[in-house]
Structure 1
Amino acid sequence: MNHLNDLPPWMAILIATFLIIGSTLALLGSVGLVRLRSYYQRLHAPTLSYSYGTLMTILSSILMFSYLETRPVVHELVIGVFVMITAPITLLMLGRAALRRDQDAKLAHEEAVPARETLRASPAGKLIRDVKRSGHPEPSPDQPGP
Protein backbone atom coordinates (compact mmCIF):
# COMPACT_ATOMS: atom_id res chain seq x y z
CA MET A 1 0.00 0.00 0.00
CA ASN A 2 2.39 2.68 -1.17
CA HIS A 3 -0.29 5.28 -1.69
CA LEU A 4 -0.90 5.50 2.06
CA ASN A 5 2.67 6.72 2.50
CA ASP A 6 1.69 9.82 0.49
CA LEU A 7 -0.75 10.97 3.16
CA PRO A 8 0.51 13.72 5.46
CA PRO A 9 0.18 12.96 9.18
CA TRP A 10 -2.58 15.55 9.77
CA MET A 11 -4.73 13.96 7.01
CA ALA A 12 -4.05 10.46 8.32
CA ILE A 13 -5.11 11.54 11.81
CA LEU A 14 -8.32 13.14 10.50
CA ILE A 15 -9.19 10.06 8.43
CA ALA A 16 -8.39 7.73 11.33
CA THR A 17 -10.54 9.85 13.65
CA PHE A 18 -13.57 9.60 11.34
CA LEU A 19 -12.99 5.88 10.89
CA ILE A 20 -12.68 5.24 14.63
CA ILE A 21 -15.83 7.26 15.38
CA GLY A 22 -17.75 5.40 12.67
CA SER A 23 -16.64 1.97 13.82
CA THR A 24 -17.36 2.87 17.46
CA LEU A 25 -20.89 3.93 16.56
CA ALA A 26 -21.44 0.68 14.67
CA LEU A 27 -20.08 -1.28 17.64
CA LEU A 28 -22.41 0.56 20.03
CA GLY A 29 -25.35 -0.32 17.80
CA SER A 30 -24.35 -3.98 17.90
CA VAL A 31 -23.96 -3.92 21.68
CA GLY A 32 -27.37 -2.27 22.00
CA LEU A 33 -28.89 -4.94 19.77
CA VAL A 34 -27.53 -7.66 22.04
CA ARG A 35 -28.06 -6.02 25.43
CA LEU A 36 -31.49 -4.42 25.22
CA ARG A 37 -34.42 -6.48 26.40
CA SER A 38 -37.53 -5.75 24.36
CA TYR A 39 -37.93 -6.03 20.62
CA TYR A 40 -38.84 -2.37 20.28
CA GLN A 41 -35.70 -1.24 22.13
CA ARG A 42 -33.61 -3.53 19.95
CA LEU A 43 -35.02 -1.88 16.86
CA HIS A 44 -33.97 1.60 17.91
CA ALA A 45 -30.38 1.00 19.03
CA PRO A 46 -28.75 -0.14 15.80
CA THR A 47 -30.68 2.08 13.41
CA LEU A 48 -29.18 5.42 14.36
CA SER A 49 -25.73 4.12 15.17
CA TYR A 50 -25.41 2.13 11.93
CA SER A 51 -26.56 5.11 9.90
CA TYR A 52 -24.14 7.56 11.48
CA GLY A 53 -21.36 4.98 11.71
CA THR A 54 -21.67 4.39 7.97
CA LEU A 55 -21.71 8.14 7.35
CA MET A 56 -18.47 8.64 9.28
CA THR A 57 -16.79 5.73 7.49
CA ILE A 58 -17.87 7.12 4.13
CA LEU A 59 -16.54 10.56 5.08
CA SER A 60 -13.16 9.05 5.89
CA SER A 61 -13.13 7.25 2.53
CA ILE A 62 -14.08 10.44 0.66
CA LEU A 63 -11.32 12.40 2.42
CA MET A 64 -8.66 9.83 1.73
CA PHE A 65 -9.38 9.20 -1.93
CA SER A 66 -10.07 12.86 -2.68
CA TYR A 67 -6.69 13.81 -1.24
CA LEU A 68 -4.80 10.98 -2.95
CA GLU A 69 -6.35 11.48 -6.39
CA THR A 70 -6.30 15.30 -6.14
CA ARG A 71 -9.90 15.52 -7.30
CA PRO A 72 -13.24 15.27 -5.47
CA VAL A 73 -14.34 11.67 -5.09
CA VAL A 74 -17.96 11.70 -3.99
CA HIS A 75 -19.47 8.54 -5.46
CA GLU A 76 -19.43 7.00 -1.96
CA LEU A 77 -22.18 9.48 -1.05
CA VAL A 78 -24.63 7.34 -3.02
CA ILE A 79 -23.99 4.49 -0.58
CA GLY A 80 -24.44 6.88 2.34
CA VAL A 81 -27.71 8.24 1.00
CA PHE A 82 -29.12 4.75 0.55
CA VAL A 83 -28.08 3.71 4.06
CA MET A 84 -29.47 6.91 5.60
CA ILE A 85 -32.79 6.40 3.79
CA THR A 86 -33.25 2.65 4.14
CA ALA A 87 -32.28 2.20 7.81
CA PRO A 88 -35.09 4.38 9.28
CA ILE A 89 -37.62 2.99 6.79
CA THR A 90 -36.64 -0.55 7.77
CA LEU A 91 -37.04 0.41 11.44
CA LEU A 92 -40.49 1.81 10.74
CA MET A 93 -41.67 -1.25 8.82
CA LEU A 94 -40.33 -3.73 11.39
CA GLY A 95 -41.87 -1.72 14.23
CA ARG A 96 -45.27 -1.57 12.55
CA ALA A 97 -45.20 -5.30 11.81
CA ALA A 98 -44.32 -6.08 15.43
CA LEU A 99 -47.01 -3.74 16.72
CA ARG A 100 -49.64 -5.32 14.48
CA ARG A 101 -48.51 -8.79 15.56
CA ASP A 102 -48.79 -7.81 19.23
CA GLN A 103 -52.24 -6.25 18.72
CA ASP A 104 -53.48 -9.36 16.88
CA ALA A 105 -52.19 -11.60 19.66
CA LYS A 106 -53.85 -9.40 22.29
CA LEU A 107 -57.14 -9.44 20.39
CA ALA A 108 -57.05 -13.22 20.02
CA HIS A 109 -56.35 -13.58 23.73
CA GLU A 110 -59.21 -11.25 24.67
CA GLU A 111 -61.63 -13.17 22.44
CA ALA A 112 -60.56 -16.54 23.84
CA VAL A 113 -60.68 -15.59 27.54
CA PRO A 114 -63.70 -13.52 28.59
CA ALA A 115 -63.06 -10.71 31.04
CA ARG A 116 -64.09 -11.22 34.67
CA GLU A 117 -66.45 -8.26 34.60
CA THR A 118 -68.30 -9.72 31.63
CA LEU A 119 -68.63 -13.07 33.38
CA ARG A 120 -69.79 -11.49 36.65
CA ALA A 121 -72.49 -9.46 34.90
CA SER A 122 -73.82 -12.42 32.93
CA PRO A 123 -76.47 -14.89 34.11
CA ALA A 124 -73.82 -17.59 34.01
CA GLY A 125 -71.74 -15.58 36.48
CA LYS A 126 -74.69 -15.36 38.87
CA LEU A 127 -75.21 -19.09 38.54
CA ILE A 128 -71.57 -19.74 39.34
CA ARG A 129 -71.73 -17.50 42.44
CA ASP A 130 -74.90 -19.19 43.64
CA VAL A 131 -73.39 -22.65 43.21
CA LYS A 132 -70.26 -21.64 45.11
CA ARG A 133 -72.34 -20.25 48.01
CA SER A 134 -74.95 -22.92 48.52
CA GLY A 135 -73.86 -25.93 46.57
CA HIS A 136 -76.95 -25.75 44.33
CA PRO A 137 -78.21 -23.02 42.01
CA GLU A 138 -81.03 -20.70 42.95
CA PRO A 139 -83.44 -19.65 40.21
CA SER A 140 -82.99 -16.10 39.14
CA PRO A 141 -85.93 -13.80 38.34
CA ASP A 142 -84.91 -13.87 34.65
CA GLN A 143 -85.05 -17.63 34.38
CA PRO A 144 -88.29 -19.60 34.61
CA GLY A 145 -88.55 -21.74 37.69
CA PRO A 146 -89.13 -25.53 37.75
Structure 2
Amino acid sequence: MFGSSKPYGANAYSKISEETGVIAASPHKLIVMLFDGAIVAVGNALQQMQKREIAAKGRSISHAISIIDNGLRASLDKRVGGEIALNLDALYEYMSRQLLLGNLNNEEAKLLEVQNLLRDLKNTWEAIAPETPISQQQAAYQPDPLQPRSTHVFEA
Protein backbone atom coordinates (compact mmCIF):
# COMPACT_ATOMS: atom_id res chain seq x y z
CA MET A 1 0.00 0.00 0.00
CA PHE A 2 2.72 2.50 0.97
CA GLY A 3 5.58 1.00 -1.03
CA SER A 4 4.93 2.94 -4.23
CA SER A 5 4.42 6.31 -2.55
CA LYS A 6 8.09 6.81 -1.63
CA PRO A 7 9.42 7.04 -5.19
CA TYR A 8 6.46 9.21 -6.13
CA GLY A 9 7.11 11.55 -3.21
CA ALA A 10 10.78 11.81 -4.08
CA ASN A 11 9.95 12.42 -7.73
CA ALA A 12 7.37 15.05 -6.82
CA TYR A 13 9.86 16.81 -4.53
CA SER A 14 12.51 16.69 -7.25
CA LYS A 15 10.05 18.10 -9.78
CA ILE A 16 9.03 20.97 -7.48
CA SER A 17 12.68 21.76 -6.74
CA GLU A 18 13.47 21.73 -10.46
CA GLU A 19 10.50 23.97 -11.33
CA THR A 20 11.43 26.42 -8.58
CA GLY A 21 14.99 26.54 -9.92
CA VAL A 22 13.72 27.30 -13.42
CA ILE A 23 11.38 30.05 -12.25
CA ALA A 24 14.08 31.75 -10.19
CA ALA A 25 16.86 31.35 -12.77
CA SER A 26 18.30 34.10 -14.93
CA PRO A 27 18.40 33.51 -18.71
CA HIS A 28 22.10 32.73 -18.36
CA LYS A 29 21.44 30.15 -15.63
CA LEU A 30 18.67 28.57 -17.74
CA ILE A 31 21.20 27.80 -20.48
CA VAL A 32 23.50 26.21 -17.88
CA MET A 33 20.54 24.11 -16.71
CA LEU A 34 19.91 22.98 -20.30
CA PHE A 35 23.54 21.94 -20.65
CA ASP A 36 23.31 20.05 -17.36
CA GLY A 37 20.14 18.27 -18.46
CA ALA A 38 21.63 17.21 -21.79
CA ILE A 39 24.85 16.02 -20.14
CA VAL A 40 22.90 13.91 -17.64
CA ALA A 41 20.65 12.48 -20.37
CA VAL A 42 23.68 11.42 -22.45
CA GLY A 43 25.30 9.94 -19.34
CA ASN A 44 22.14 7.96 -18.64
CA ALA A 45 22.10 6.73 -22.23
CA LEU A 46 25.72 5.58 -21.93
CA GLN A 47 24.91 3.56 -18.81
CA GLN A 48 21.79 2.11 -20.42
CA MET A 49 23.77 1.23 -23.54
CA GLN A 50 26.26 -0.71 -21.42
CA LYS A 51 23.42 -2.53 -19.63
CA ARG A 52 21.71 -3.22 -22.98
CA GLU A 53 18.55 -1.41 -21.87
CA ILE A 54 17.49 -0.53 -25.40
CA ALA A 55 14.18 1.24 -24.70
CA ALA A 56 15.56 3.31 -21.82
CA LYS A 57 18.64 4.23 -23.91
CA GLY A 58 16.37 5.44 -26.72
CA ARG A 59 14.33 7.59 -24.31
CA SER A 60 17.47 9.13 -22.80
CA ILE A 61 18.94 9.94 -26.20
CA SER A 62 15.61 11.38 -27.36
CA HIS A 63 15.56 13.53 -24.24
CA ALA A 64 19.10 14.79 -24.91
CA ILE A 65 18.26 15.57 -28.53
CA SER A 66 15.12 17.40 -27.43
CA ILE A 67 17.11 19.54 -24.99
CA ILE A 68 19.70 20.34 -27.65
CA ASP A 69 17.19 21.09 -30.43
CA ASN A 70 14.26 22.60 -28.50
CA GLY A 71 16.28 24.29 -25.77
CA LEU A 72 19.82 25.20 -26.71
CA ARG A 73 19.38 25.49 -30.46
CA ALA A 74 16.01 27.21 -30.23
CA SER A 75 17.43 29.84 -27.86
CA LEU A 76 19.92 31.07 -30.46
CA ASP A 77 19.20 34.47 -31.97
CA LYS A 78 20.92 34.24 -35.35
CA ARG A 79 20.17 37.86 -36.24
CA VAL A 80 21.89 39.24 -33.14
CA GLY A 81 24.41 36.46 -32.54
CA GLY A 82 25.93 36.60 -35.99
CA GLU A 83 28.65 34.10 -36.85
CA ILE A 84 28.86 32.69 -33.31
CA ALA A 85 25.15 31.83 -33.31
CA LEU A 86 25.43 30.26 -36.76
CA ASN A 87 28.41 28.16 -35.66
CA LEU A 88 26.62 27.05 -32.50
CA ASP A 89 23.57 26.15 -34.57
CA ALA A 90 25.71 23.92 -36.79
CA LEU A 91 27.39 22.37 -33.74
CA TYR A 92 24.04 21.62 -32.08
CA GLU A 93 22.83 20.03 -35.33
CA TYR A 94 26.01 17.93 -35.44
CA MET A 95 25.53 16.82 -31.83
CA SER A 96 21.93 15.75 -32.48
CA ARG A 97 23.03 13.78 -35.53
CA GLN A 98 25.86 12.10 -33.60
CA LEU A 99 23.45 11.11 -30.83
CA LEU A 100 21.05 9.65 -33.37
CA LEU A 101 23.82 7.69 -35.10
CA GLY A 102 25.25 6.57 -31.77
CA ASN A 103 21.84 5.28 -30.78
CA LEU A 104 21.27 3.44 -34.05
CA ASN A 105 24.71 1.81 -34.11
CA ASN A 106 25.30 1.47 -30.34
CA GLU A 107 28.46 3.57 -30.58
CA GLU A 108 29.54 4.81 -27.17
CA ALA A 109 32.24 6.95 -28.76
CA LYS A 110 29.66 9.17 -30.47
CA LEU A 111 27.79 9.68 -27.21
CA LEU A 112 31.00 10.43 -25.33
CA GLU A 113 32.00 12.96 -27.99
CA VAL A 114 28.70 14.80 -27.61
CA GLN A 115 28.90 14.68 -23.83
CA ASN A 116 32.40 16.20 -23.95
CA LEU A 117 31.27 18.91 -26.37
CA LEU A 118 28.37 19.76 -24.06
CA ARG A 119 30.70 19.94 -21.05
CA ASP A 120 33.11 22.22 -22.92
CA LEU A 121 30.29 24.53 -23.99
CA LYS A 122 28.85 24.57 -20.47
CA ASN A 123 32.23 25.46 -18.96
CA THR A 124 32.68 28.24 -21.50
CA TRP A 125 29.16 29.53 -20.87
CA GLU A 126 29.78 29.56 -17.11
CA ALA A 127 33.04 31.46 -17.64
CA ILE A 128 31.16 34.32 -19.30
CA ALA A 129 28.50 34.59 -16.58
CA PRO A 130 27.27 38.14 -16.16
CA GLU A 131 27.82 39.85 -12.84
CA THR A 132 24.88 39.92 -10.43
CA PRO A 133 22.80 43.02 -11.14
CA ILE A 134 22.51 45.57 -8.35
CA SER A 135 18.74 45.05 -8.15
CA GLN A 136 19.30 41.37 -7.27
CA GLN A 137 21.88 42.35 -4.67
CA GLN A 138 19.41 44.80 -3.16
CA ALA A 139 16.65 42.16 -3.16
CA ALA A 140 18.97 39.86 -1.21
CA TYR A 141 19.54 42.56 1.44
CA GLN A 142 17.48 41.89 4.55
CA PRO A 143 17.21 44.87 6.92
CA ASP A 144 17.48 44.40 10.68
CA PRO A 145 13.88 44.06 11.94
CA LEU A 146 14.79 45.74 15.25
CA GLN A 147 16.03 48.92 13.60
CA PRO A 148 13.54 51.76 13.08
CA ARG A 149 12.53 52.19 9.49
CA SER A 150 11.05 55.02 7.55
CA THR A 151 7.39 54.80 6.61
CA HIS A 152 5.94 55.73 3.29
CA VAL A 153 2.63 57.39 2.61
CA PHE A 154 1.31 54.34 0.79
CA GLU A 155 2.19 51.79 3.46
CA ALA A 156 -0.62 50.24 5.47
Q: Which TM bucket (shorter chain)?
A: 0.3 to 0.5
Q: Which has the larger radius of gyration?
A: 1
Where is the helix percentage greater, Structure 1 or Structure 2? 1
TM-score, normalization: structure 1? 0.38
TM-score, normalization: structure 2? 0.36
